[in-house]
Structure 1
Amino acid sequence: MKAILLHDSGPGATLSEGAPRRETIVYVPGIDGTGELLLGTSKRLEARFRLLRVRYDPEPPSDERPGGAPLYERLADTIAECLDEAGVPRAVILAESFGGGVALQLALRHPDRVVGLMLVNTFCFYPRRIRIRLGAALVPFTPKKLLQLGRISLAAKLFFRPRKDAEAEELFRQAIPGFARGGYAERMRAIPELDLRDRLGEVTARCELFCSSDDAVVPSTATMQVLADGLPNAQLTTLEGANHIVLPLAEEPWVERLEELFRSAK
């Protein structure tokens, strides 16, 4: 599995030669892996930044690197290749959930490419390891129609509520789910093998951390506190009343937060 460049947009993507380039953000998706779950926030970010979105693509079996942490490393290395493809020397990395481990690996393996990190509802070590291993074992045998029905019917309860954003919820229901593209179980299998707790002190980039008080997917108040305690240059903010998916919420000032991260990281 590898990361590929899905979309390159916003001011700076098509500037004339010699013009100053705008700050670049790379969005690293969660386990969904499609790169599409910023939803309406994509447009809000593109109005201010150059935005690169990546997705996770399966590779032929001969090219796979089975196991846990090697998958995170492979994704991090191929994100660096996406930066090369886009001609971007350095960027702020915006990552959520599963993608946070990928972003941390990028900062460890390619520190010169990272201006700063904004990590949302993620982890460097997932404590519910038995649960995630069971899920990885069941996903390949669950009909996709059943997975899609569960995704749609539980979207509000498991991902958004008690915060409400009708537009974001509707766009989420319409989005093609990541399990439809393959590689979902492989990403799930990688999670219980990830453990970067002893390496957090090596991440020198400025890190802005956000956890949701009502996260029903990841125990993010606990996992993000681990990050806040271990990263040497980090600040943790709790989003009260928010669930797992918060980046699409229009009421959250993500543009302003990213602007401040660029300023503080320089």
Structure 2
Amino acid sequence: MSGSTARPALLLAHGAGGSVAANYGPMMEQLRARYRVIGIDYPGAGSTPRATRRLELDELADRLTAAADAEGVGRFAVSGFSLGGAVAIRLAARHPERVTALALTAPFARADTGVRLTARVWRSLIAAGDTDTLGRFLLARCLSPAALEAMDPQELETAVKETGAGVPVGTPEHVELVERLDVTADLARITAPTLVVSPVDDPLIPPRLHRAVATGIRGARLVEIAGGHLPFAEHPDRWAALLTDGLTDGLAPGSASGVSDRLADGGTDGEE
């Protein structure tokens, strides 16, 4: 997908069990107003055919780079969400001359034991075909306590059914990659200005893993925002502001680097 050729380019790398539309759709209008947006769905997501073998991180990074090539784009910023953060990191490490900036949301360099255990339960529930239990599991592991408590029983039950039934067919391969990827060594190779967005109530990827990514990338700026693992579901306008004003203004020459900013409910950093 793409927008005006006059705008700077932004590549989108989505999360495991997601898609460009699912993870970035709620902010797409704001992103297209600022950027020429280019994104691809991983195998088994959106209209992309499911993989017949296990996924490799280099392959996903190459697919995203190829999408930019197909659009005639030489240099670009990259936004990576969750698993997409690792994709973006690998892409930036392999093509430092092409990446102008990175925005990594809820990223991890390597899954810890807790994340790997969660991933295996996730895959087991998909294999079992119990979509309601899968939906309950994903909501509990992805939304913040505040978001869950804000739903009335009917809203929660509807969300359970929609979440469980809406899992892309390629999710098992995405999640299996989550279990074994490791971009720790790539962090020191990143030269692009980097913004790390850390949802402080993320129950899926612990915020300490977000912080470890920010610590490993020289000069990275860490911004904490309220909410769970899915900022596009809980705080889409706030996340969009960080991917537009926060990414361009916050990473401009002379701006703070290596700084942690906390965005609470009443915060103003990156917001109107």
Q: Percent identity?
A: 23
Name the stretch that deviates more: 138-147 or 101-110. 138-147
Aligned to 2:246: 257
Asked if structure 2 preserves the Cα contact closer than 8 Å seen for 1:100 and 1:122, the reply is yes
Distance, in Å, in 2 between the alignment partners of 1:183 and 1:115 is 30
**Per residue, is there more strand in 1 or in 2?**
1
Aligned to 1:159: 143
How many residues align? The count is: 238
**SS of alignment partner, residue 25 of structure 2:** coil
Aligned to 1:187: 174
Matched, 1:124 2:124: no
**SS of alignment partner, residue 47 of structure 1:** helix
Distance, in Å, in 1 between the alignment partners of 2:53 and 2:59 is 8
Distance, in Å, in 1 between the alignment partners of 2:180 and 2:125 is 18
Aligned to 1:55: 41
Moved over 3 A (4+): 58-61, 143-151, 163-166, 173-181, 261-265
Distance, in Å, in 2 between the alignment partners of 1:83 and 1:60 is 20
Cα offset, 1:257, TM superposition: 0.9
Task: Give the partner amino acid of 2:7.
Answer: R
Distance, in Å, in 2 between the alignment partners of 1:76 and 1:178 is 28
Gaps of 5+ in 2: 255-272
Gaps of 5+ in 1: 1-6, 13-20
Distance, in Å, in 2 between the alignment partners of 1:149 and 1:130 is 17
Distance, in Å, in 1 between the alignment partners of 2:162 and 2:33 is 22
Cα offset, 1:51, TM superposition: 1.3
Query: Residue 178 and residue 108 in structure 1: after superposition, are their counterparts in 2 closer, same or farther (change >3 A)?
Result: farther
Distance, in Å, in 2 between the alignment partners of 1:76 and 1:251 is 27
Aligned to 1:8: 2
Cα offset, 1:31, TM superposition: 1.0
Query: Residue 51 and residue 235 in structure 1: after superposition, are their counterparts in 2 closer, same or farther (change >3 A)?
Result: same
Task: Give the partner amino acid of 1:134.
Answer: V
**SS of alignment partner, residue 256 of structure 1:** helix
Aligned to 1:111: 96
Give 1:41's match in structure 2, choosing from 27, 50, 55.
Answer: 27
Asked if structure 1 preserves the Cα contact closer than 8 Å seen for 2:93 and 2:189, the reply is yes
Asked if structure 2 preserves the Cα contact closer than 8 Å seen for 1:8 and 1:51, the reply is yes
Matched, 1:197 2:184: yes
Distance, in Å, in 1 between the alignment partners of 2:175 and 2:194 is 25
Distance, in Å, in 1 between the alignment partners of 2:227 and 2:177 is 26
Query: Cα RMSD (Å) of the superposition?
Result: 3.3
